[in-house]
Amino acid sequence: MSADILVVDDEVDIRELVAGILEDEGHRTRTAGTSDDALAAIETRRPHLVFLDIWLQGSRLDGLQVLEIIKSQHPDLPVVMISGHGNIETAVSAIKAGAYDFIEKPFKADRLVLVAERALEASRLKREVRDLRSRSVQASRIAGKSIVINQLRQAVERAGPTNARILITGAPGSGKELTARTVHSLSTRANGPFVVLSAATITPDTMEAELFGTEGGADGGRRVGALEEAHGGTLYIDEIADMPRETQNRILRVLVDQNFQRVGGTTRVHVDVRIVSSSSRDLPAEIAAGRFREDLFHRLGVIPIRVPSLAERREDVPELIEFFMEQISSTTGLPKRRIAEDAMAVLQSHDWPGNVRQLRNNVERLMILVSGDPDAEITADMLPSEIGALVPSTPGGAGGEKLMSLPLRDAREIFEREYLLAQIARFSGNISRTAEFIGMERSALHRKLKSLGIGG
């Protein structure tokens, strides 16, 4: 890579020498003889790398002061100090102040080239890591603009940094783990581990070993459990209500004592772990049935957060579809597709029992299956039958057969009711938008709803 390198030294011979060597390597260089010229050159255009003399005789500021200014304005701009013979100590303090490295006069050309390449490579890697991080944050963004999702986002932003234990409830696939990850990324533990323990998929026999780890097993070895692995970070326990009673007792003790013993062990392990747990069950009902400890419920749920189901926020469906198409397209290379209005209407009025996960799976399936003309829209008839049922289900869950057994008048009334309820839900209760979509006058729709006994 050809980089833009600024060489700052009061001795003209030195700066020309350094610049010459770097240019021979294919880089572009600029030079400055004083602190003010150096800062002005950076101001004009941020270079990729700076070689900076420590002394800078005859300048307003010395090299260390210039370094300080550069680091405050451009923390990621790598600076290599040029140190005179015998002032290694100053060079070391420059490194403490943020310089990448130093070269000592007189220096060999290959040492100079090597340091330059390393500094440029380190800065490139740093940038890459930052990009990847921001991309993965973007990939796990809580998407949606509905009121309920805004409330969720606010709750997460408030609770994230507090370090308090959080209990997340919500239907399967609604985004509980995503919520937990967002909480973690907003906390002071963001650079620590985020460990997932899925209580639903672990058998009661192995639950404690998974959570606490084991000691003195058959092979005499010890295994680190999820709690220990999450030290300094967050432990996310999924489907907490599926934990066996005995484990519930033990985890409660961990929460009280802040330490635990490994299975088969005698030493107490002290950890600093924030526990975020989740459940898709009705926990008060589990407590009433004696399956879940009430005191544990209160300990885990210092801050309760509820994730809305997708059916509660149908207006987010188009944005979520766009979000997933973008995501899937960038990871698989599949082209994004346009969704025709009739298909969108079906997608928005579907109940989505599997919530956002089910929606995402369907988007992926459509992108794979709908091949051919990349400009062709996805229309309602291309949707899988599981979603595409055009007759809304009737109360009691019966489908078309029930309608068939009724006189036209009653069947029509049931159909109209279900149809209108679904459309209104789709537009989040906004009657004007519903009326416009279904092609009725707003006042006529109001009258219709009243006659069907819907709404106030």
Positions touching ligand ATP (CB under 6 A) are 140, 142-144, 170, 172-178, 238, 280, 323, 356-357, 360
Task: Please state at what angle helix 147-159 crosses helix 176-185, rounded to 10 degrees.
Answer: 40
Give the three-state DSSP class for 29: strand
Closest by CA to 225, choosing from 210, 235, 239, is 210
* CA end-to-end distance (rounded Å), the chain: 69
Task: Give the nearer residue to ligand ATP in terms of CB position, either 48 or 165.
Answer: 165
Task: Give the nearer residue to ligand ATP in terms of CB position, either 200 or 391.
Answer: 200
Minimal distance in Å, beta carbon 171 to ligand ATP?
Answer: 7
Minimal distance in Å, beta carbon 266 to ligand ATP?
Answer: 35
Minimal distance in Å, beta carbon 424 to ligand ATP?
Answer: 22
Minimal distance in Å, beta carbon 178 to ligand ATP?
Answer: 4
Minimal distance in Å, beta carbon 135 to ligand ATP?
Answer: 14
Q: Are 232 and 272 in contact (CB under 8 A)?
A: yes
Rounded Cα–Cα distance for residues 367 and 143 (Å): 20
| Per-residue tokens: 98 | 């943020």
Q: Which helix (H) or strand (E) holds 277?
A: strand 274-279
Rounded Cα–Cα distance for residues 197 and 394 (Å): 40
| Per-residue tokens: 455 | 């709404």
The upper half-sphere exposure of residue 259, i.e. CA atoms within 13 Å in the direction of its Cβ, equals: 7
- Which parts of 76-138 are beta strand (E)? 79-83, 101-104
Minimal distance in Å, beta carbon 323 to ligand ATP?
Answer: 6
Minimal distance in Å, beta carbon 184 to ligand ATP?
Answer: 13
Task: Give the nearer residue to ligand ATP in terms of CB position, either 170 or 392.
Answer: 170
Minimal distance in Å, beta carbon 167 to ligand ATP?
Answer: 13
The residue with tokens 């399967």 is 172
Phi/psi at 341 (5° precision): -60, -40
Task: Give the nearer residue to ligand ATP in terms of CB position, either 172 or 244.
Answer: 172
Indicate if the alpha-carbon torsion angle 116, 122, 124, 127 is positive or negative.
negative
For ligand ATP, the nearest residue by Cβ is 175
Task: Give the nearer residue to ligand ATP in terms of CB position, either 48 or 181.
Answer: 181
Task: Give the nearer residue to ligand ATP in terms of CB position, either 105 or 306.
Answer: 306
| Per-residue tokens: 61 | 């500021």
Give the three-state DSSP class for 342: helix
